Amino acid sequence: MTTHPNESDERTERTDEHDDAESGEPTAADEEGAAAAADDEPEIVDGRTIEHLLTDHERDIAATAKGTDATAAKRPTLDLPRLELGRRDFMKAGAVAGAMGSLAGCTSILADEDGEDDGGAAASGDHTVPPGEHDEYYGFLSGGHTGEIRVVGLPSMRELMRIPVFQAESARGFGHDARTSELLEEAGGYTWGDTHHPRVSQTDNDYDGRWLFVNDKANGRMARVDLKYFETDAITNVPNCQGVHGACMQLPDTQLVFGVGEFRVPMPNDGRDVDDPDEYGSVLTAIDPETMDIEWQVQVDGNMDNGDGGKEGRWFFATGYNSEEGVTEAEMTRSDRDYVKAFDIPAIWDAVENGDYEEISGVPVVDGRKESSLNQGDRPIVRYVATPKSPHGISVTPDGKYAIASGKLDPSCTVIGVEEIAEVDDPQDAILGQPRIGMGPLHTAYDDRGHAYTTCFIDSVVVKWDYEEAVEAEAGSEEPVIERHDVHYNPGHLIAAESYTASPQGDYLISLNKLSKDRFLPVGPIHPENDQLFYIGDDDAGMQLIKDKPSYPEPHDASVVHKDKIEPAKTWDPDDYELDFVEEGDESFERVDENTVEIEMWARRNEFAFPEVELREGDEVTIRISNVETTSDVIHSLAIPEYDINLALAPQDTREVTFTADEPGVFWAYCAYFCSALHLEMRSRILVQPDE
Amino acid sequence: MTTHPNESDERTERTDEHDDAESGEPTAADEEGAAAAADDEPEIVDGRTIEHLLTDHERDIAATAKGTDATAAKRPTLDLPRLELGRRDFMKAGAVAGAMGSLAGCTSILADEDGEDDGGAAASGDHTVPPGEHDEYYGFLSGGHTGEIRVVGLPSMRELMRIPVFQAESARGFGHDARTSELLEEAGGYTWGDTHHPRVSQTDNDYDGRWLFVNDKANGRMARVDLKYFETDAITNVPNCQGVHGACMQLPDTQLVFGVGEFRVPMPNDGRDVDDPDEYGSVLTAIDPETMDIEWQVQVDGNMDNGDGGKEGRWFFATGYNSEEGVTEAEMTRSDRDYVKAFDIPAIWDAVENGDYEEISGVPVVDGRKESSLNQGDRPIVRYVATPKSPHGISVTPDGKYAIASGKLDPSCTVIGVEEIAEVDDPQDAILGQPRIGMGPLHTAYDDRGHAYTTCFIDSVVVKWDYEEAVEAEAGSEEPVIERHDVHYNPGHLIAAESYTASPQGDYLISLNKLSKDRFLPVGPIHPENDQLFYIGDDDAGMQLIKDKPSYPEPHDASVVHKDKIEPAKTWDPDDYELDFVEEGDESFERVDENTVEIEMWARRNEFAFPEVELREGDEVTIRISNVETTSDVIHSLAIPEYDINLALAPQDTREVTFTADEPGVFWAYCAYFCSALHLEMRSRILVQPDE
C-alpha cells in the first residue's frame, strides 16, 4: 500500500484517470529550463494561456477581472498576467494546473524539483545537525497564549528566535520603542494575545519568504511579521468579531489574508443584543496583505474554526462547529452534523461591488448565512457542506484537488472535491470520500507522494493515509489508512515541510502534542508541550520518530519553510524606517522648551554618544538613537533602569523613545547586549536634577 | 599535563603537601555509611566536633556564635549543631574540611560519590537523549534582559521551561492573577528586568533543590524562584543601589543571599548628590533567603561586579572595577589595578550588632570602604586585594581553597588563598598564583579533578588549566594551561555541572557565547546567542564540543544541577497558598453590593463552573477559580478576552483576579490550554449589560 516517490504509483494512475488535460505537457527539457530560470526575472517566452484548463465559471471570472480595472486591482485572484505562460510563469501554471488535477505528470515534476532540496539532512539518513552546520528548514511555530511566534530549525528542533507579536518583550525591545509600542497601543493596548496559525506568504503556491501572518484568538486581531527583519510590523484590530481563530490566505499569491472568526457575538459587540444569541454572528474577514486594511467580512451561520485557501485562488474553506448556535457546551454539541463552508471569493467581491452588504463598524459585511439571498441563486457566495460532528481542521491537498476536513467528534475525515464544489448543485455531492481515520481527528498535513497525515487527539496517534484511495473507497472504510504512529501525547496540529504549498517536501513532519506527561525532566505543575519530529521520507520504513522537543505553552500550529526561501537581512536598512539615522558626529541635545528635551545619539562598541545626560525633574524627554555598527550581530541596547525602558538596536537600526523624567537621581543607562570586553563600561549617566 | 580522575595526580600530591589536618580521616566504611544515610533524618551518632580543623580566628567566631543566641539565629554561618558530627553532618564536615584543604583525601571521597551519578549520559560516551528519555541535568539559565529564567536539560540542551521572574507573561499567567501581579507591582511595577546570575540554594555545599535566586541588574532587585513549583515567589527591591549585578550566597547552607551592587549612585538615590560622584556609593546587600528581607548592606569603594561565597561560610568574594571611581569609560579604565573584595561575614554581623552602621532607606549600611575605621583594626570587615585591571568573574574552587578572579582587561587569572586571606597581614600576600590565561578572561568553572575552565572573550576560547599548578608556577606563566578550545563566538559566562558546589560532576560544561554570527540559519538582525555544550569528562581526549544551542537574548549565566536534586511538584498543594480552593458544588456568584461581584468557580475538562456570568457595566468583579483536576499536566486557563486576562491553572491550583467590567458586550472567556477534544467548547459567556 505504500508507494515510493520515484515509482509510478496507484495515485498517479488515478490522477491519469481523472486527467482531462488536452495537451501541453512540458517536456523534460522544458522542465530543466524552467528550473534553471526560476530565479531569473519573469520573462514571457510563450504566449500560451492556461485558459483551456479553467472551468467555464472560472473563465467568466477571469474575463470579468480583465474587463474591470478597479476590480482587477482588488482581485489578484486570477489576474491575467499570470495566465500567460512565461518561463517563470510556467511554474505558476504548473502549480495552478496541478491544483486542478488537470495536467498529467505535474505532481511528479514538482516532486523531482523537491528532490534536489531534500538531498541534505533527509537523504543522509542522519537527522542530526552538528555544531556549526545549518538546519534545512525554518519552522515557524505560534506561541499560543504567550502571544509570540517561535522560529525553530528542522531537523535539529533548536529554537532559533522568538518574535514577539502581541506582547511587549524587553530583550528585543518590542513595545519599548515608540514605533512598536504605538503598534501595540493602536491594536487595543492589550498585553497579550493568543497566536494560533502562522502562515507564510506565498507566490505561485510556494513560499516567497516575505511575510508571516498570525491571528490573535483572544482579542480578535491579525498581525503581520516582516520576514526581512523577523519583526512584527502591523497589527489589525478586527471588529464585529471576538476571536480571530484561523489565519489563512487566498492563494496562489496571498492576494488576501483571512481571519476566520470563531465566537459568535453581537455585531458590533458594544452592549447591544447581549441577551439575544440569535442576533450574534460570526464572520470571515478578508484583509489586504499589503495595507493590512480590512476589505470585507462575510457573516455565516454557526461558529467557525480553521480554514485553508484553494490553490486555484477561487475557493476558501473553513470548518465550523456549533451549527446549533447554542451558548453552552451541551447545546453546541447536540447535532451530528456541522458545516464546512466554501467561500467563493470572486462572488463575494461581486457582492461587495454591487453594494450587497451592510456596513458594520466601518466594514462591509456581506450576508453569507444559509438563508441569505446571496446564497439562493446559481452562484451562492458560501456553499455549506454538511459533515460529521464539529469538523475541526481543514487543509487543501498540494495538488489542489481536495479540501480535507477532520471530524473531531467523529472518527472520519471528509474529502471534498475543489473542482466539484463549483459544479455540483447540491454541495453534499462534492464529498468524494469519508475514510475512518481514528478517534478525535483534528488536523491533516501532506507529503509529496499523495499521503495525508492526520492527528487523532483522543487516540494519541498520527495516521498516515492515502487520500486518492479514500476517494475510491467506501465511506467509513479504514482501507486508505497506511500507518498509525503513536505520539506523546494528545496531538493538536501537525505540520509537514511545506505542506501548505503545492509542493510539499515530503521529508519532515512535526506533531504538536498538547501533553508531555513524563517525557521530560519534571519542571513543576505547568508542563511543557511536546513537539515531536518525524521523518516521513521513507514509505517502506514508515514514519520514524526522530526527536521530542519540549515547548513552552502553547505552540498551536506551525508552518515549515525551506531555508532557501527566507532571506532575512543581516543588518537594518535605514531606508526601511521613517526615523533619521544618527551618524557619529551628528549627536545633539536640545532643550526645545522649558520642559522638553530632544536627544539624538548613537551607540557603538563601548560607548554611547553622550557619556552624560543632564535632565530636570519633570522633563519630557525624547531620545532617538542609532546603532552605527555595520557588522552583523553586534547589537546594542539602551537600557534605562528605573524608567522601564530597553531599546534593542541591531546594526544600522534607529529607535526612539519618549519618557517623563519624573524621578530625580542618577540613573546609569547601559547596554544590555554583551557587545565587547568593555561592555560593562558602556553606559550613559543620566542625571535628573530635582525640581526644587 | 592532563590527569585522569582515577589516577593519583599532581594535584592530589600537592594537596598532601599543604595538608595540615591532624587526624580524623574517615575510613572507607564511614564513607559508605555516610553516603547511605545521606537522605535520612539528621541524627547525631557521634559527638566529635570539627573545631580542631578551624583556624584560631574561626574558633573565636564559632565561640561567639555559641554564646549569643540572637546572633546565632542570624548567623547560621558556623552554627554549632553543624559542628557536631552526625551521620548527615559528617557530609557537611567533609565539605567544610575539604573547603579548608585540611582533610587529606576529602576531594577524592567527593569524586567517588559523584562517580555514581556520572554513569548515565557521560559514561556511555553518547551524549544524545533519545525521545522519551530524560536528561541528566537541569540547567538554569538566566534570560538576561528578557527578565526570565530558562530551564534546559543537559546534555540534550532542550529548553524545558521558562520561568517569568521580572516580567508579566501570559502563558503561565504570571502577573495576571492577583498574587503574582501584586508581586510585580510591589517590586516597583517595572515591566522588565535583567536577570544575570541564577543560583540554586545549597545545603552542605551541595544543591538542595529548594530555591533559585536571581538578580535584576536593571532595577536593583533580587528574586526567588520556588523550585517546588518553578514559580517566582518573592522579589526584593534593594535600596541604595541601582543595579544588583552578582547574585550569590553565603555557603555552605545558603544562610544569606548576596546582591552585589554595581553602579555607584547617591545613597539614597533620591535627587541628592546628583553632581557629586564622590558621594556615590556601591553596596553589597545581604538578604535572608527565607523572608527575603534585607539584613544589611556594606558600602565599598569602586564598582562591584560578580561574587561567590567561600565554602566555609566566612568569606564572600566580589570582583570590581572602576576603583578610579570615574564616571566615563576612559576614567573607569585608567588604572592598572582594581580590587577583589573579601567580605568577612561574621565581622560584618558584629559591626551591625555593635551599631556600627548608618541606616539609609531603612537598611543598616556598614562602611566597608578602604578608609573606614571598621577596616583599620586586625579584623577588617572588607579586605581589598589589588589585582590586574578590572577583574570580572570570581569563583571559589570546589575544595574551597581558592577564589579565582579573571582579569578581563588583563590576560591573567588571580588565585587568592581563602585560608590565607584570613591570616596574612597584607591582603596582597593572599595571592598565591597568577597564571597567564588568554585575552579577555571573564569567568571560571571547575570540574572534579582540579581543573579550572576560563572563558576568554577576546580570544573566543575556553581555557582549561590546572589551578594547583598555577599556585606552583611563576606569576604570568602559561605553564598551568592544559588546553584552549575555540568557542563560537566571544564567550561571557561558562558553567560546569555543579561547579558552584563542593563536588562538581566533571562531565559537562556550557560556554555561553554572546555572538553566534553564522552558526545558525539567519533570523534577521537580532541574532540568537550560542550556548555551546562541551563534554569535559575525558582528560585524555580533551574538551569535546557536543552541541551548539541557539539562545534567545540574553542568557547571561547558569547553574547546572543534577536531576536527582530537584523534586518539583506535579500538581499544586492547596496548603501552599492562601486562597481557598473551590470544589465542584461550591461555586458561587455573589453581588456583594451595587457594583461589586464576587465569583468563586472551578475548571475541569470541558467546562467552567458557570457557563454564563451576567455582569453590569462598571461592576468591580473578583473571580477566584480552582482547577479541580488531580491528573498532572491537565492544565486549564481562564482567558478573558478584551479584559486582558489569562489565568493559568495547573491541577489543584487556585488563582484570583479582579477587574472592572467597563466594556459592555458579550465576551467568551475560554480555556487557553488545550485540554480535551472538547477544549474548543470549554468556555463561559460573560455578559456585560450596558449601563443605561
Task: Say what percent of chain A tops pLDDT 90.
Answer: 76
Task: Find the helix packing angle between A106-118 and A28-37, rounded to 10°.
Answer: 50
Report the pLDDT value the prediction gives residue A576, as an integer from 0 to 100: 97
What is the pLDDT averaged over residues B535-553?
A: 97
What is the pLDDT averaged over residues A428-456?
A: 98
Residue A475 carries which side chain, given as an amino acid letter?
A
Report the pLDDT value the prediction gives residue A587, as an integer from 0 to 100: 98
Confidence category of residue B328, pLDDT binned at 50, 70, 90: confident
CB distance B404 to B452 below 8 Å: yes
For residue A149, give the nearest of A159, A157, A158 by alpha carbon: A159
Give alpha helix (H) positions in A308-389: 329-332, 345-353
Confidence category of residue A2, pLDDT binned at 50, 70, 90: very low
Confidence category of residue A102, pLDDT binned at 50, 70, 90: very low
In this structure, the strands spanning A596-604 and A619-627 are: parallel
Nearest residue on chain B to A245, judged by CA atoms?
A: B680
Beta bridge partners of A163: A149
Q: Which residues of A touch B161 (CB under 8 A)?
A: 523-524, 526, 528, 550, 552
Q: Which helix (H) or strand (E) is A465 found in, with range?
A: strand A461-466
A546 part of contact set with chain B, CB < 8 Å: yes
* B194 compared with B408, residue with greater pLDDT: B194
Residue among B138, B552, B634 minimizing CB distance to A171:
B552
B517 part of contact set with chain A, CB < 8 Å: yes
- Gap from A624 CA to chain B (nearest CA, Å): 19
Cell of A394: 481543514
Residue among B134, B554, B650 minimizing CB distance to A521:
B134
A265 part of contact set with chain B, CB < 8 Å: yes
What is the pLDDT averaged over residues B251-268?
A: 95
What is the pLDDT averaged over residues B644-652?
A: 97
If DSSP codes are grouped into helix, strand and coil, which group holds residue B686?
strand
Confidence category of residue B568, pLDDT binned at 50, 70, 90: very high
One DSSP character per residue, B59-113 reads HHHHHHHHH-HHHHHH-GGG-GGGGB--HHHHHHHHHHHHHTT-STTHHHHHHHH
Task: Tell me how far apart the alpha carbons of residues A560 and A562 are, in angstroms, rounded to a whole number.
Answer: 7
CA B217, B223, B226, B231 torsion-angle sign: negative
Residues 6+ apart with CB under 8 A from A629: A571, A604, A605, A636, A651, A652
The whole-chain average pLDDT of chain B stands at 85
Q: Which residues of A touch B606 (CB under 8 A)?
A: 329
Nearest residue on chain B to A517, judged by CA atoms?
A: B633
- Gap from B123 CA to chain A (nearest CA, Å): 20
Q: Is the pLDDT of residue B112 over 60?
A: no
Q: CA torsion, points A200, A205, A206, A208, in degrees to nearest 10?
A: -60
Report the pLDDT value the prediction gives residue B125, as an integer from 0 to 100: 65
- Gap from A334 CA to chain B (nearest CA, Å): 12
The whole-chain average pLDDT of chain A stands at 85
Most A CBs within 10 Å, among B643, B680, B682, B684, to test the A interface: B680
Report the pLDDT value the prediction gives residue A125, as an integer from 0 to 100: 65
Nearest residue on chain A to B275, judged by CA atoms?
A: A687
Are the Cβ atoms of A160 and B523 closer than 8 angstroms?
Answer: yes
Of these ranges, A44-58, A124-138, B615-629, the one predicted with the greatest mean pLDDT is B615-629
Q: Which residues of B touch A242 (CB under 8 A)?
A: 641-642, 666-668
A134 part of contact set with chain B, CB < 8 Å: yes
- Gap from B59 CA to chain A (nearest CA, Å): 40
Task: Tell me how far apart the alpha carbons of residues A278 and A267 are, in angstroms, rounded to a whole number.
Answer: 11
What is the pLDDT averaged over residues A251-269?
A: 95
A492 part of contact set with chain B, CB < 8 Å: yes
Report the pLDDT value the prediction gives residue A562, as an integer from 0 to 100: 98
Nearest residue on chain B to A549, judged by CA atoms?
A: B158
Report the pLDDT value the prediction gives residue B172, as an integer from 0 to 100: 97
Neighbours of A200 (CB within 10 A): 26
**How do residues B282-309 score in pLDDT, each as one tens digit?**
999 999 999 999 999 999 999 999 999 9
Are the Cβ atoms of B648 and A526 closer than 8 angstroms?
Answer: yes
B-proximal residues of A, 623-642, CB under 8 Å: 632-635, 637, 639, 641-642
- Gap from A532 CA to chain B (nearest CA, Å): 8
Report the pLDDT value the prediction gives residue A334, as an integer from 0 to 100: 86
Confidence category of residue A118, pLDDT binned at 50, 70, 90: very low
Cell of A55: 472551468
Ramachandran region, residue A639 (left: φ > 0; alpha: ψ -120 to 50; beta: rest): beta
CB distance A292 to A317 below 8 Å: no
What b-and-e string marks burial along A652-678, b requiring 16 or more CB atoms within 10 Å of the CB? bbbbbbbeebeebbbbbbbbbbbbbbb
One DSSP character per residue, B200-212 reads EEEETTEEEEEEE
Confidence category of residue B79, pLDDT binned at 50, 70, 90: very low
B-proximal residues of A, 434-463, CB under 8 Å: 440, 457-458
Are the Cβ atoms of A525 and B563 closer than 8 angstroms?
Answer: no
Residue among B169, B333, B409 minimizing CB distance to A146:
B169
- Gap from B46 CA to chain A (nearest CA, Å): 38
For residue B246, give the nearest of B296, B205, B210, B287 by alpha carbon: B287
What is the pLDDT averaged over residues B557-586?
A: 98
In this prediction the pTM is 0.85
Task: Tell me how far apart the alpha carbons of residues A686 and A613 are, in angstroms, rounded to a whole number.
Answer: 5
For residue A328, give the nearest of B448, B396, B678 by alpha carbon: B678
Q: Which residues of A touch B242 (CB under 8 A)?
A: 641-642, 666-668
Confidence category of residue A441, pLDDT binned at 50, 70, 90: very high
What b-and-e string marks burial along A223-260, b requiring 16 or more CB atoms within 10 Å of the CB? bbbbbbbbbbbbbbbbbbbbbbbbbbbbbbbbbbbbbb
Neighbours of A51 (CB within 10 A): 14
Report the pLDDT value the prediction gives residue A57, as an integer from 0 to 100: 37
* A521 compared with A68, residue with greater pLDDT: A521
A145 part of contact set with chain B, CB < 8 Å: yes
Q: Which residues of B touch A194 (CB under 8 A)?
A: 639, 646, 672
One DSSP character per residue, B614-674 reads EEETTEEEEEEEEE---STT--EEEEETTTTEEEEE-TT-EEEEEEEE-S-EEEEEE--S-
Strand ranges for A106-205 from DSSP E: 137-142, 148-154, 159-164, 199-203
CB distance B396 to B402 below 8 Å: yes
What is the pLDDT averaged over residues A652-656?
A: 98
Complex-level ipTM beyond the 0.90 threshold: no
- Gap from A308 CA to chain B (nearest CA, Å): 19
B-proximal residues of A, 303-342, CB under 8 Å: 305, 321-322, 327-329, 332-333
A516 part of contact set with chain B, CB < 8 Å: yes
- Gap from A556 CA to chain B (nearest CA, Å): 9
Cell of A618: 519633570
B279 part of contact set with chain A, CB < 8 Å: no
CB distance A441 to A455 below 8 Å: yes
Cis ω before A435 (30° cut-off from 0): no
Cell of A63: 474575463
Are the Cβ atoms of A681 and B321 closer than 8 angstroms?
Answer: yes
A-proximal residues of B, 62-81, CB under 8 Å: none
What is the pLDDT averaged over residues B221-231?
A: 98
- What count of CB pairs under 8 Å joins A to B? 386
**How do residues B123-155 score in pLDDT, each as one tens digit?**
456 899 999 999 999 999 999 999 999 999 999
CB distance A170 to A60 below 8 Å: no
Give the CA distances from residue A564 to residues A125, A522, A560, A569, in Å, rounded to whole numbers and listed in that order. Answer: 21, 37, 12, 14
- Gap from A80 CA to chain B (nearest CA, Å): 35
Cell of B682: 470549554
